[in-house]
Amino acid sequence: MEYLIDAPTSGFTSLARAPHDNDLRDRNLVKVIGKHLDKLLPFREKAPGVRRARTVHGPYAPEHARTRKGFFSALVFRTILFGSGYMFDHPIFFDQPDKLTNDHALMVASFGPKYFVDAMIYGSATNRPLTNVSVLWDRTGSSGIPFNFHLADPTTDPLNFTAFYRQVIRMEPSPSGGARRAYPQCGDLIGYLIAADYVYTGIVAMPDVDEMGRIIHHIAKGALSGLQLLELVDPAFTDFEAAKPPVQHVQWAFRTFFELVSSALTPEQRSHMGWDVITAEHTLCKISRLHGPQYRLLDL
């Protein structure tokens, strides 16, 4: 058992190993991950969905990433299509904004709605209607990021990660009163994923360790749960909705985790796994998910 999607498994099986673990448990772990790579693989950039998005057929190809259509396609990929069958059978760079809705009208009777949307890909069920496609296209127009945040201007590279992230998740006045997300379904988690995707295009800067700690604290989801499971976050903070640990505590915990794992890996392993702060955050999310009630594959 040496490779899983071209990446050494030692980086995560060592984290998974507890005193009573055995080879069978490790094999089961890898078997389950292998069936759900986009949902469970710790090596973020090795997962097939992300790989697909970086090909010429996806939004993050060099010729697409800076364009309005590329950014629009990135939003559609992360807020609607991620984890679906459609994304592997059809281009997910949309040269025509109505291409997806037209395909849905033609194919849904034959393939079913799950072919277009996996509502559980990010964990709990989320509503990701295809009616958002036209809204996303409209909102990436003249007031969208490609025009007001220099996405299309290579002289601004690399953009600050946190600043870009805040633009993606920003709120704006709603015509009916109150406020709304600039991009539907693009909340704290999905907005972070889009910002992280753009890091690997070279357009957005890699966040440093403390910056990532602040983001983990802000999102307060899987990565924070992973730090808690590893007993790096005070177990008194069990309800992140009611009371999160202090941001400095989370920064320390993430820095400790990142440095500990980094020091345990050889340079070749780090390179092969794509080990960096984004992959570290991703790994913490998978630790939390694999330990949780759906899989119960990690004893921590």
Residue 15 located in a structural domain: no
**pLDDT-derived band at 6, boundaries 50, 70, 90:** very low
pLDDT for res 119:
86
Q: Considering only CA atoms, which of 139, 141, 134 is closest in space to residue 98?
A: 134
Average pLDDT score over the chain: 87
Residue 142: pLDDT over 70: no
Lowest mean pLDDT of 27-31, 70-74, 98-102, 104-108, name the range. 27-31
Lowest mean pLDDT of 67-71, 184-188, 225-229, 295-299, name the range. 295-299
pLDDT for res 270:
93
Domain boundary among 164, 182, 199: 199
**pLDDT-derived band at 18, boundaries 50, 70, 90:** very low
Residue 245 located in a structural domain: yes
Read off the tokens for 182: 């600039």
Read off the tokens for 242: 């009611």
Winning range, highest mean pLDDT, from 2-16, 34-48, 206-220, 243-257 = 206-220
% residues pLDDT > 70 (the chain): 86
Q: Please, which residues have CB within 8 angstroms of residue 147's CB and are 6 or more apart in sequence? A: 68, 141
What is the mean predicted confidence (pLDDT) over 35-57?
94
Q: Considering only CA atoms, which of 79, 28, 20, 1 is closest in space to residue 297?
A: 28
E strand intervals along 23-168: none
pLDDT tens digits, 94-116: 999 999 999 999 999 999 999 99
pLDDT tens digits, 231-242: 998 777 766 666
Residue 4: pLDDT over 80: no
Residue 62 located in a structural domain: yes
Same domain, 91 and 141: yes
Residue 125: pLDDT over 80: no
Q: Is the pTM of this model over 0.85?
A: yes
Question: Measured between alpha carbons, how far is residue 291 from residues 15, 29, 161, 229 in Å?
Answer: 12, 11, 30, 9
Same domain, 255 and 140: no
Same domain, 120 and 248: no
Domain count, the chain: 2
pLDDT for res 8:
39
What residue numbers bound the domain in which 272 lies? 207-291
What CA–CA distance (Å, rounded) separates 81 from 279? 22
Same domain, 183 and 258: no
Question: Measured between alpha carbons, how far is residue 173 from residues 177, 182, 222, 268 in Å?
Answer: 7, 9, 30, 49
Residue 11: pLDDT over 60: no
pLDDT tens digits, 274-296: 999 999 999 999 999 988 877 77
Look at the block and give the residue holding tokens 């055995």. Answer: 22
Same domain, 188 and 221: no
Cis peptide before 91 (omega within 30 of 0): no
Backbone angles phi, psi at 239, to 5 degrees: -115, 95
Question: 181-219 b/e with 16+ CB inside 10 Å = b?
Answer: bbbbbbeebbbbbbbbbbbbbebbbebebbbbbbbbbbb
**pLDDT-derived band at 17, boundaries 50, 70, 90:** very low
